[in-house]
């Protein structure tokens, strides 16, 4: 079955009279209507991102609301080792507040950690950051979005002074002359996105894909470059070297709107084509063709995704591609430029309003005195009580239970036992906590380890806003009632804030929280002050920054100037160093990880949906037949894949679409198939992104294969 066939069923399910809202999964935030009995979904034609299309996950999203193990009552352990048993909401919230008070009195404010999620609405993300800073007064807050787009965000801020995923509306893609997609497989991760690329190609535009695998996306490309894992930075520098040599640099744009190019021009002299081919394995003619396609188009785009970004040098890798885009003058043309593909549903908005360890609402820096004063005034507190920056996501998880780390963790919308790098270690850290409270709709692998579990409302059962990969703020509307006994995260935070005698107001109404968010973000880089629920309704979404209600919003934030002090984009020289962990005799194969069409993130949602489980029932490892023969592995056999951090046992799939020196494992499954048991925790020095995307492994046939045959 082709990807396009998987996107649109021949006979779509109809939700008559449904409530217009958006999909609960990725940052494309496809429009859908939800309603009927039983509840069903219908794709919306009026949302530019999907224009009537949905992927398998979207079509089955209504089934999330009635999964058999849906939680509808709080659960609590009486003591360590006791089972989770039903309790009342009062008992659960009292227990959490009591543990917070006890541990902070004994160990200080930072004894409590908070871990959020990139799927939370803007309102919940904002309220969670506020709760951590002034109800708990802890610096120890971060979120799983740190594992998503943080390297691209750091590079965007360094080059452009502002982190916005796409440089313009998604509809610009169809009008492009060339698009280079680096480390992304949108045909499986966000299938309706492919419509825009297909339309571009039908108009005569060219698609270039850079990926170690010939993915479903790469198969539809006009040109596929297949570099060794961890060498994207060298490839970008090599292509810039070729652009300079072939006279493709837009010297007028570089002179008028950028700074620092001469240092980059000198630095890429070291990346002559033959050297880059030796480093990356990409033939020089392919590099040259890719550069010509980009440089000779009137409108061209470079888009990066997790494959390029989830590295210990991810910020520098993205910077190298931004350098290439700037040298070619792409950001100076409407419909052109550089962008990054946000992954999680609210990955963009989730990091703008206070979940990150170093930020306050509006994308303000938490150590900026003016930012602290502004936000404190909105919250009605003294700026002095707002703590400073805390640990980043992995560093926070790695510190759990340590002498100088948090003794308790409050977790919302995340499943780090599956999703964190070196997840076996993180599981140990979570088990070492004195207290863990989790808000979720099911007993995820992390929630099973909690002392208190709070059943929370799902996407179609609550209202709020999401910010999609374009920077467009959208309305999520309540379409159905939550089951009896379930509360929203806003209600949970308000209940805890009351018990902790927190200052300020703690509304449970999303519209009221959004109005407070607007005030807190006003004047910041991510300014939502002029965005209202009414405007979102009438305009089909509003692009930030939008500083006033008579402001039209900003679909193309870099059209006239960049958000740097002098308005110029900044070139930065960067050098290739390779993966943090190279292959050797003991671990001779590169491992890369990623997603498959049927599943999403840690699988806590999709592994409960029967059609999605049927489509992709178990984890697997993709191996080139030549590597499989050398490793003594046959098609369909179980394989032990071992890194320096752990071992997984998964079924072999022999494919010729991957490099001979590389294997691929998707990361959606738990237990012995948990890909993140293997991944490396080396951190990018700027973004603090772990190196999810490449590590060294060895392959061994599972000892039971012979007995099974």
**CATH code, 26:** 2.20.25
pLDDT at 702: 86
pLDDT at 709: 40
Q: Which long-range contacts (CB under 8 A, 24 or more apart) does 625-630 make?
A: 625/654, 625/655, 625/656, 626/660, 627/589, 627/660, 627/661, 627/663, 627/699, 628/652, 628/654
What is the bridge-based pairing of β-strands 178-182 and 300-304? parallel
**Co-location of 182 and 113 in the same domain:** no
Residue 514, domain member (yes or no): yes
Model pLDDT for residues 389-428, shown as the tens digit of each residue: 999 999 999 999 999 999 999 999 999 999 999 999 999 9
Q: Are 478 and 19 in contact (CB under 8 A)?
A: yes
| pLDDT(3) > 50 | no
Helix locations, 19-132, DSSP H? 56-59, 89-107, 122-130
**Co-location of 207 and 322 in the same domain:** yes
| pLDDT(10) > 50 | no
Domain end among 322, 340, 358: 340
Mean pLDDT of the chain: 94
**Co-location of 7 and 42 in the same domain:** yes
* Percent above pLDDT 90 for the chain: 92
Give the domain CATH number at 676. 2.40.40.20
Residue 411 bridge partners (DSSP): 115, 438
Residue 358 token pair: 């170093």
**Co-location of 278 and 203 in the same domain:** yes
pLDDT at 343: 82
Residue 46, domain member (yes or no): yes
Residue 444, domain member (yes or no): no
Model pLDDT for residues 84-124, shown as the tens digit of each residue: 999 999 999 999 999 999 999 999 999 999 999 999 999 99
Q: How many CB atoms lie within 10 A of CB 262?
A: 11
Say how far apart CA 526 and CA 479 lie, in whole Å.
28
pLDDT at 11: 31
What range defines the domain where residue 42 resides? 3-66
**Co-location of 187 and 115 in the same domain:** no
**Co-location of 667 and 518 in the same domain:** no
pLDDT at 214: 97
Q: What is the largest CA-CA distance in the chain?
A: 72
Say how far apart CA 454 and CA 86 lie, in whole Å.
10
Residue 344 bridge partners (DSSP): none
Q: How many CB atoms lie within 10 A of CB 254?
A: 23
Give the domain CATH number at 461. 3.40.50.740
CA distance readout (Å), 529 to 10, 35, 287, 376, 525: 43, 32, 44, 16, 11
Residue with more model confidence, 657 or 334: 657
Residue 340 bridge partners (DSSP): 304
Say how far apart CA 698 and CA 456 lie, in whole Å.
41
pLDDT at 342: 86
Say how far apart CA 342 and CA 476 lie, in whole Å.
18
**Co-location of 142 and 51 in the same domain:** no
Residue 424 token pair: 């076996």
Q: Are 289 and 325 in contact (CB under 8 A)?
A: no
**Co-location of 158 and 214 in the same domain:** yes
**Co-location of 92 and 219 in the same domain:** no
Lowest mean pLDDT among 40-44, 668-672, 692-696, 703-707: 703-707
With a CB cutoff of 8 Å and minimum separation 6, the contacts of 396 are 113, 115, 140, 141, 142, 357, 390, 405, 406
Residue 578, domain member (yes or no): no
Q: Are 354 and 133 in contact (CB under 8 A)?
A: yes
Residue 178 bridge partners (DSSP): 206, 300
Say how far apart CA 504 and CA 494 lie, in whole Å.
11
Domain end among 483, 517, 543: 543
Residue 468: phi and psi, rounded to 5, are: -85, -175
With a CB cutoff of 8 Å and minimum separation 6, the contacts of 379 are 130, 134, 503, 504, 520
Model pLDDT for residues 562-616, shown as the tens digit of each residue: 999 999 999 999 999 999 999 999 999 999 999 999 999 999 999 999 999 999 9
Domain end among 321, 340, 359: 340
Residue 121: phi and psi, rounded to 5, are: -65, 165
What is the bridge-based pairing of β-strands 435-440 and 408-412? parallel
Using pLDDT thresholds of 50, 70 and 90, give the confidence band for residue 706.
low
Using pLDDT thresholds of 50, 70 and 90, give the confidence band for residue 16.
low
Q: Are 305 and 341 in contact (CB under 8 A)?
A: yes
Residue 142, domain member (yes or no): yes
Question: Mean pLDDT across the stretch 11-20?
Answer: 59
Model pLDDT for residues 124-161, shown as the tens digit of each residue: 999 999 999 999 999 999 999 999 889 999 999 999 99
Residue 434, domain member (yes or no): no
Question: Mean pLDDT across the stretch 507-525?
Answer: 98
Q: Are 474 and 22 in contact (CB under 8 A)?
A: yes
Using pLDDT thresholds of 50, 70 and 90, give the confidence band for residue 2.
very low
**Co-location of 45 and 88 in the same domain:** no
pLDDT at 699: 97
| pLDDT(183) > 90 | yes
| pLDDT(349) > 90 | no
Using pLDDT thresholds of 50, 70 and 90, give the confidence band for residue 17.
low
**Co-location of 373 and 308 in the same domain:** no
Residue 237, domain member (yes or no): yes
Using pLDDT thresholds of 50, 70 and 90, give the confidence band for residue 6.
very low
pLDDT at 324: 98
> Please, what is the Cα angle at 690 between 686 and 692, to 5 degrees?
140
How far from the centroid of its chain's Cα atoms is residue 562's Cα? 24
* Cα–Cα nearest to 183, from 636, 664, 613: 664
Say how far apart CA 526 and CA 163 lie, in whole Å.
9
**Co-location of 104 and 161 in the same domain:** no
Number of domains within the chain: 4
> What pTM does this model have?
0.95
Residue 557, domain member (yes or no): no
pLDDT at 703: 77
Q: How many CB atoms lie within 10 A of CB 176?
A: 25
């Amino acid at each position: 079955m082709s990807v396009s066939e998987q996107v649109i069923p021949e006979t779509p399910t109809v939700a008559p009279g449904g409530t217009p809202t958006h999909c609960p999964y990725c940052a494309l935030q496809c429009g859908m209507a939800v309603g009927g009995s039983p509840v069903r979904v219908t794709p919306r034609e009026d949302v530019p991102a999907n224009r009537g299309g949905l992927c398998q996950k979207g079509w089955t999203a209504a089934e999330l609301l009635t999964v058999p193990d849906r939680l509808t009552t709080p659960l609590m352990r009486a003591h360590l080792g006791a089972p989770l048993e039903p309790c009342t909401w009062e008992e659960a919230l009292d227990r959490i507040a009591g543990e917070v008070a006890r541990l902070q009195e004994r160990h200080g404010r930072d004894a409590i950690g908070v871990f959020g999620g990139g799927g939370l609405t803007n309102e919940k993300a904002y309220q969670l950051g506020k709760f951590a800073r002034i109800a708990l007064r802890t610096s120890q807050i971060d979120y799983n979005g740190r594992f998503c787009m943080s390297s691209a965000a750091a590079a965007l801020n360094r080059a452009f002074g502002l982190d916005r995923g796409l440089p313009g509306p998604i509809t610009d893609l169809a009008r492009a002359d060339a698009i280079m997609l680096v480390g992304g497989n949108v045909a499986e991760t966000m299938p309706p996105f492919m419509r825009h690329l297909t339309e571009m190609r039908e108009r005569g535009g060219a698609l270039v894909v850079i990926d170690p695998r010939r993915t479903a996306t790469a198969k539809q490309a006009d040109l596929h470059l297949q570099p060794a894992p961890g060498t994207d930075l060298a490839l970008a520098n090599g292509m810039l070297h070729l652009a300079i040599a072939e006279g493709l640099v837009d010297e007028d744009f570089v002179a008028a709107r950028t700074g620092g190019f001469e240092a980059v021009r000198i630095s890429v002299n070291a990346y002559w084509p033959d050297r880059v081919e030796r480093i990356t394995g990409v033939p020089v003619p392919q590099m040259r063709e890719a550069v010509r396609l980009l440089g000779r188009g009137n409108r061209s785009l470079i888009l990066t995704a997790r494959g390029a970004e989830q590295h210990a040098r991810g910020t520098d890798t993205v910077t190298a591609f931004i350098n290439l885009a700037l040298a070619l003058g792409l950001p100076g043309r409407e419909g052109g430029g550089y962008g990054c593909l946000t992954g999680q549903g609210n990955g963009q908005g989730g990091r703008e309003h206070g979940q990150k360890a170093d930020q306050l609402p509006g994308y303000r820096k938490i150590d900026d005195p003016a930012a602290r004063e502004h936000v404190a005034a909105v919250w009605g507190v003294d700026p002095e009580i707002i703590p400073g920056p805390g640990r980043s996501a992995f560093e926070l998880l790695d510190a759990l239970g340590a002498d100088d780390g948090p003794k308790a963790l409050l977790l919302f919308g995340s499943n780090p036992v599956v999703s964190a790098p070196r997840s076996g270690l993180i599981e140990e850290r979570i088990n070492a906590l004195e207290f863990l409270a989790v808000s979720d709709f099911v007993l995820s692998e992390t929630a099973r380890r909690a002392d208190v579990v709070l059943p929370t409302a799902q996407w179609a059962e609550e209202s709020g806003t999401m910010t999609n990969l374009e920077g467009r703020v959208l309305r999520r509307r309540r379409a159905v009632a939550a089951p009896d006994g379930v509360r929203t995260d806003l209600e949970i935070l308000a209940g805890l804030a009351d018990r902790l005698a927190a200052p300020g107001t703690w509304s449970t109404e999303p519209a009221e929280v959004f109005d407070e968010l607007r005030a807190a973000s006003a004047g910041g880089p991510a300014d939502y002050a002029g965005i209202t629920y009414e405007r979102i309704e009438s305009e089909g979404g509003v692009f930030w920054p939008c500083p006033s209600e008579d402001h039209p919003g900003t679909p193309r934030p870099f059209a006239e100037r960049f958000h740097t002090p002098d308005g110029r984009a900044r070139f930065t020289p960067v050098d290739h160093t390779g993966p943090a962990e190279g292959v050797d005799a003991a671990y001779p194969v590169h491992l890369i990880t990623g997603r498959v069409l049927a599943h999403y993130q840690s699988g806590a949602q999709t592994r409960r949906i029967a059609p999605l489980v049927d489509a992709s029932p178990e984890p697997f490892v993709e191996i080139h037949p030549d590597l499989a023969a050398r490793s003594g592995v046959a098609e369909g056999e179980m394989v032990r894949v071992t890194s320096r951090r752990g071992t997984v046992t998964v079924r072999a799939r022999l494919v010729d679409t991957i490099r001979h020196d590389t294997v691929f494992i998707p990361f959606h499954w738990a237990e012995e198939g948990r890909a993140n048991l293997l991944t490396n925790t080396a951190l990018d020095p700027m973004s603090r992104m772990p190196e999810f995307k490449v590590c060294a492994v060895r392959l061994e046939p599972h000892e039971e294969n012979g007995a099974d045959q």
